[in-house]
Amino acid sequence: MAESKPTHLEPSKLGTKAYWDALYTTELSTHASDPTLEGTVWFDDSDAEAKILSYLSPGSDSDSEHSSSSSSSSHPSPSHPHNLSPPTASILDLGCGNGSLLFSLRDDGWSGHLLGVDYSEQSVALAKSIAASRENEDLKSVEFKVWDVLNGPLSDILPPASGGGWDLVLDKGTFDAVSLSSETDSLGRRINEGYGERVLQLLKVGGIFLVTSCNWTEAELQGWFETSTAPNDEKTKLRMAGRIDYPSFSFGGVKGQTISTLCFEKVVVE
């Protein structure tokens, strides 16, 4: 059983906008000098992007548990475990960095509305520069915008005719960074405590939130997003719907992973 509210992380400079602005200013300058250098791919040492692509591939359930995948003899092509359609699914990447995950999804056939947002202007400038440098690729469906995940107006980024929100919301390290901030919200909470509530506002009912973290265990992520994120005014909540398996290690008789990726679905509370 996941505890209702995991213990907060100690604040770090990685939880400040100044840190990320400085990082992406450097990476933007490096990319301008050599377009083949596209900056940091977070969790690359764990092959997280490839794992995420595999998990999201239609018919793939090799790395998932608690999946809703199903098949039928009347459907020769395997269905997607979360009813996502690569040609049409709308995808929002929170804290997009250099855009690497969205570019990988686009290359893998996800050709719907793809939007990456980041509160660092330099991050968005880098992602746009990388997109422009890939002259031989069709990246028209990949968009990047400066937007604050916790405070930006929802009307600025909700897709048109969205049915209430995005089909898929991605987070690869952004919740980690938010969790390292010492800032508090209007209720006096550390700002990461309101992150799940924000995700609910961004998803359509039945939409999927896929979050990858190196700072939180699977049980802690479940605690933050399923257990301690209360149902909103629409009577919806986040329910764990899958996970990605990474190579594990054992230390002192305890088994663990260096990173965790969990999948949550926005469901109506019965």
What CATH number is attached to the domain comprising 239?
3.40.50.150
Q: What is the pLDDT of residue 135?
A: 65
In a domain, 140, yes or no: yes
In a domain, 38, yes or no: no
In a domain, 199, yes or no: yes
Let me know if 221 is exposed, middle or buried by CB neighbors in 10 A (0-12, 13-18, 19+).
buried
In a domain, 13, yes or no: no
Residue 91 belongs to domain spanning = 82-268
Radius of gyration of the chain (CA): 18
Q: What is the pLDDT of residue 230?
A: 86
Number of helices followed by number of strands (H, E) in the chain: 7, 9
Which residues fall within 8 angstroms of residue 136, CB to CB, at 6 or more apart? none
Q: What is the pLDDT of residue 214?
A: 94
Count of structural domains within the chain: 1
Q: What is the pLDDT of residue 76?
A: 37
* 234: number of Cβ within 10 Å: 13
In a domain, 218, yes or no: yes
**Which of 93, 68, 126 lies closest to 267 in space, CA to CA?**
68
Distance from C-alpha of 259 to C-alpha of 240, rounded to nearest angstrom: 17
At 151 the three-state DSSP class reads: coil
In a domain, 8, yes or no: no
Let me know if 215 is exposed, middle or buried by CB neighbors in 10 A (0-12, 13-18, 19+).
middle
Q: What is the pLDDT along the chain (270 residues), one digit of tens a residue?
A: 445 689 999 999 999 999 999 999 999 999 999 999 998 888 888 899 999 999 998 765 544 444 433 333 333 344 566 889 999 999 999 999 999 999 999 999 999 999 999 999 999 999 999 998 876 566 556 999 999 999 999 999 988 765 679 999 999 999 999 999 999 999 999 999 999 999 999 999 999 999 999 999 999 999 999 998 988 888 999 999 999 999 876 555 555 678 999 999 999 997
In a domain, 213, yes or no: yes
- Specify the pTM: 0.88
In a domain, 5, yes or no: no
DSSP state of 223: I
Task: Assess contact for 167 and 204: CB atoms under 8 A.
Answer: yes
